[in-house]
Structure 1
Amino acid sequence: MSEPFVLHTSGGLRWVVHPPQDPYGDGYVYTVATELHDDGMTASTVAKIDGLYANLDCTLAGFMEGLVVEWRGWNGVRTWTSLERELALDARHDGRGHVSLGVTLRAPGLDLDDTAWSARSVFVLEAGEELTRLAADLSYFLRT
């Protein structure tokens, strides 16, 4: 089994993504166990994400690659959400060379009234090489 993908800061903030699993064996939907660790908080969930046959623009890897293409900046917030909202990312560019990447985890399962628990942490990344390396590493990890 391969090692998990980890995004971390020197202050101890960590986002951990475990290797994708194919629960149905058909390549269409994967599950990933994921965790957030921040200042004494630990949250974990299992997210359903698009598999091998999804349009790249809809995938987590595609979302990250899209941020890299626009590394010089964009207006507003860009978002990506897993199939059942257990994992969500939002990205903001400050116009000065940094991207704030918010990672939100939610309780797995159907949440029609939006009352399930959630946890969110924000990573600040350099918009050029650091963001490019993160996107490449995460894309490679999700495709292997």
Structure 2
Amino acid sequence: MIDYGESGSPALRVGDPGPRPVHLVFSEPSRPYGDLDSTLDFIVRASGRWVSVETLVRTSDGGGLDFFLSSLAEDFRGWDGKRVWRSLEDDLTISAEHRPDGHVHLMWGLHGRQPADQ
């Protein structure tokens, strides 16, 4: 579910809505190299009761993330196989599979780089 948290940033709520959910929170995107460049960065934070990690995600004009997420909702009746979205530098990956019971299994990964790689 996408909603707006206390910070006003879009939050993609992932996982069991039970007592220990984990939320992905996306910061407002910014253009680090100016308005004429297609690079669009945002911070993604995964937070929950026992975890709080964040990483910078780099895309080219959003990399189609909005289309990827909206297509999951539009195809609510289901699809075959796994759908995968990756950021430009693989900092964020999201995969989705439609299950026979009508639920969508959504998996995500935040992948930081070693300080020498940055």
TM-score normalized by structure 2? 0.76
Which string of whole-angstrom CA distances, capped at 9 and with x for unpartnered residues, describes residues 38-93 of structure 1? 441222100002217xxxxx510111122223211112211000000001100011
Match of 2:32 among 14, 23, 35: 23
Q: What is the deviation of 1:111? A: 9.7
Instruction: Find the counterpart in structure 1 of residue 61 from structure 2.
Output: 51
Counterpart check, 1:90 vs 2:99 = no
Instruction: Find the counterpart in structure 2 of residue 75 from structure 1.
Output: 80
| Counterpart residue identity of residue 36, structure 1 | A
Q: What is the root-mean-square deviation of aligned Cα atoms in Å? A: 2.5
Match of 2:109 among 101, 104, 108: 104
| Counterpart residue identity of residue 44, structure 1 | E
| Counterpart residue identity of residue 99, structure 2 | D
More helix, by proportion = 1
Q: What is the deviation of 1:96? A: 2.2
| Counterpart residue identity of residue 32, structure 1 | F
The answer (yes or no) to whether the contact 1:93–1:99 under 8 Å persists in 2 is: yes
**Paired-residue identity, %:** 26
Instruction: Find the counterpart in structure 2 of residue 136 from structure 1.
Output: none
